[in-house]
Amino acid sequence: MQQVNSQNSENIRYQVDEHPPTPLTIGLGIQLATLCIAGVVLGPAIVVNAAGGDQSYLLWAVFGAIFVSGISSVIQAVRFGRIGAGYVLVMGTSGAFIAVSVAAIAQGGPAMMATLVIVSSLFQFLLGWHLSLFRRILTPTVAGTVIMLIPVTVMPIIFDMLSQVPEGASANSAPISALVTALAIGAIALKAKGMLRLWAPVIGIVIGSLVAIYYGIYDFSTFKSAAWFGLPEGGWPGFDLSFGPVFWSLLPAFIFVTLVGAIETVGDGVAIQRVSWRREHATDFRAVQGAVNADGLGNFLSGLIGTVPNTTYSTSVSVTALTGVAARGIGVALGAVFIILAFFPKILAVIIAIPGPVAAAYMTVLLGLLFVVGMRVVIQDGADYRKSLIVGIAFWVGVGFQNGLIFPEIARDFAGGILENGMTAGGLTAIILSLFVEFTNPRRHRLSVPFDTNSLPEIRNFLDKFATRFRWDEAVKDRLTAVAEEALLTLEHQTEDEDAKLSERHLLLTIQREGDKAVMEVISAPSKENIEDRIALVGGYTDEATDSREVSLRILRHYASSVHHQQYHDTDVITMSVDVASISK
């Protein structure tokens, strides 16, 4: 950790709570907006074109996507109460929603999609507010599998765009413009270093568009007819409140994809914290909850305005790590740029007019990277044979249902056809298999006691019985008791100054055996400081001036082989591992 902290200290020029010069803030905001705007605009353009929407709604959907992305990016950076991460997280159109949004517009129109987006966003608020309750259901294994299935569901739509050129165009126009775009992006991304690599998608689109202009397949009519400034006319779709069969058949898929977007946001919320401070911090899950809530608000606003939902972009993490500037002002500047651009239709028309083959090549590269991101999420969680089996089965179940290869008649008729979507079918499979493993694992032993030191005798008795079950000796019993006791004392020290009375709070202690280790969880009301951070700061000596809370931290660090503290708005979860084998020797 000291090496990582040293690297962060050298790389971070302005950490998240500092204020760089205004010109630097504005410049980096414009740069980050330029990197991300193509994805924000092309998302709704692909959805509307694939679903057969008209030109007026297309212009409105693009305006709405840019405008809402700007607002939600500002909210992510500034943080209003429990909404917003308080970090630079770019918000933009979510690729995960492409397939379900196309289905909603094709089957029920833009108003149907708007209604579905609003209703499904409420589930994201529910997840963000109670994120701690879902930590064993929405696991990295489930998240990685669903992320890997996003390209599976979207790629058929993208591949159809490869041949979308005007009538009479050269037979070579589509393949050459697509190939040049993909090669340009790939070559720069693979060989370039530093900032140039981040510009690979933008450069690839520009080069591909130039080839398209040469072949005459770049449509300038939208650009010529678009106004320089103003709002699109007559594009707002309203809402479909009939709540008919189309709504109920698509709602499960929208909810599931919304949760997938939330999982992506959780990952980005964790990653941005790692590159925003000079000294490495334990992940603050209250900030992650704020990121998910802001994501939900962005989706809610997208539904109100009638456009495709948005989500956090990982580009913000890469740019922050590269520039070393993590100040919140960058997110505000970027959001302001998006909001201003939303009112300049002619500028947006340049991106809307990008030919299908060029846009398809761009999206193919991005979705390919998204598939790898899903693989990485699974692998980083530790892919043992159980998790590997879950991923393998769930992924191919999703592929099979997406392509109509697994009992298509049953899939079409079951629950309104929700299994026809590969993400839904594969994701549900991963969740069911994960829950089966969870429920068949060795049972977690639980004890609920008042959050008070008077509960220590009851805790010791509980741990003694648990250790006796596995014939562990007195040394192990003493170690387990010491770890639990110091965790309780540390939490008590951190919460004793708060208004709520400790006697009104409860502590839930769980413990289970995992091989040669005993894994203990202490779940309680929120505390002020992160124990994991405090342990990292504790020095290697004690003296008379050392207060009791630092003594507890030292003992906890000595007796537990690992300590992880997850702080949520409503809950503290401290997970401690005790190496039993080393004690018994």
Q: Does some domain include residue 437?
A: no
Residue 499: pLDDT above 70?
no
Instruction: Examine the pLDDT at 540 and tell me if it is beyond 50.
Output: no
Domain boundary among 382, 402, 423: 382
Other residues' Cβ atoms within 10 Å of the Cβ of residue 159: 12
Reported pTM: 0.73
Distance between CA atoms of residues 426 and 418, nearest Å: 11
Exposure class string for 514-528: b at 16+ Cβ within 10 A, else e: eeebbbbbbbbbbbe
- Co-location of 453 and 369 in the same domain: no
- 370 and 449 share a domain? no
> Does residue 315 sit in the same domain as residue 197?
yes
Report pLDDT for 26.
Answer: 84
Q: Could you tell me if 340 and 473 lie in one domain?
A: no
- Distances in Å between the Cα of 248 and the Cα atoms of 134, 241, 253, 255, 289 are 24, 12, 10, 11, 28
Same domain, 483 and 373: no
pLDDT-derived band at 1, boundaries 50, 70, 90: very low
Is the pLDDT assigned to residue 496 strictly greater than 70? Answer: no
d(CA 76, CA 70) in angstroms, rounded, equals 10
Which tops the pLDDT comparison, 326 or 532? 326
Final residue of a structural domain among 382, 407, 433: 382
The owner of tokens 């490495």 is: 280
pLDDT digits (tens, 9 = 90+) for 199-256: 777 788 888 888 888 888 887 777 777 678 877 776 788 888 888 888 988 888 888 7
199 and 84, same structural domain? yes
- 454 belongs to a structural domain: yes
**Do 470 and 374 share a structural domain?**
no
Residue 432 lies in a domain: no
For residue 456, being part of any structural domain is answered with yes
Gap between the Cα atoms of 386 and 317, Å rounded:
31
Do 89 and 73 meet the contact criterion of CB atoms below 8 Å apart? yes
* Whether residue 355 is found in the same domain as residue 466: no
Buried b (16+ CB within 10 A) or exposed e, 457-470: eebbebbbebbeee
Residue recorded with tokens 């055996």? 513
Residues 119 and 266 in one domain: yes
Inside any domain, residue 96:
yes
Q: Name the residue with tokens 């994120």.
A: 131
Q: Where are the alpha helices (DSSP H) in 343-407?
A: 345-352, 356-380, 385-402
The DSSP line for 142-191 is HHHHHHHHHHHHHHHHHHHHTT---TT--TTHHHHHHHHHHHHHHHHHHH
Residues 188 and 326 in one domain: yes
* Size of the chain in residues: 585
Domain membership of residue 416 (yes or no) is no
Tell me: do 468 and 367 sit in the same domain: no
Q: Hey, what amino acid is at 314?
A: S
**Full domain range(s) for residue 67:** 2-220+239-382
Helix (H, G, I), strand (E, B) or coil at 518: strand
The total number of structural domains that make up the chain: 2
Q: Give the 3-state secondary structure percentages of the chain, helix then strand then coil, rounded to 5.
A: 65, 10, 25
CATH number at residue 532: 3.30.565.10
Could you tell me if residue 307 is inside a domain?
A: yes
Give kind and range of the element (H or E) at residue 579: strand 572-579
Reported as a pLDDT band with limits 50, 70 and 90, residue 40 is confident
Model confidence pLDDT, tens digit, residues 342-380? 888 888 777 777 788 888 888 787 777 767 767 776 776
Q: 129 and 255: one domain?
A: yes
Residue 495: band (very low, low, confident or very high) from pLDDT cuts 50, 70, 90: low
Domain-embedded: residue 35: yes
pLDDT over 70, % of the chain: 85
Q: What is the pLDDT of residue 544?
A: 45
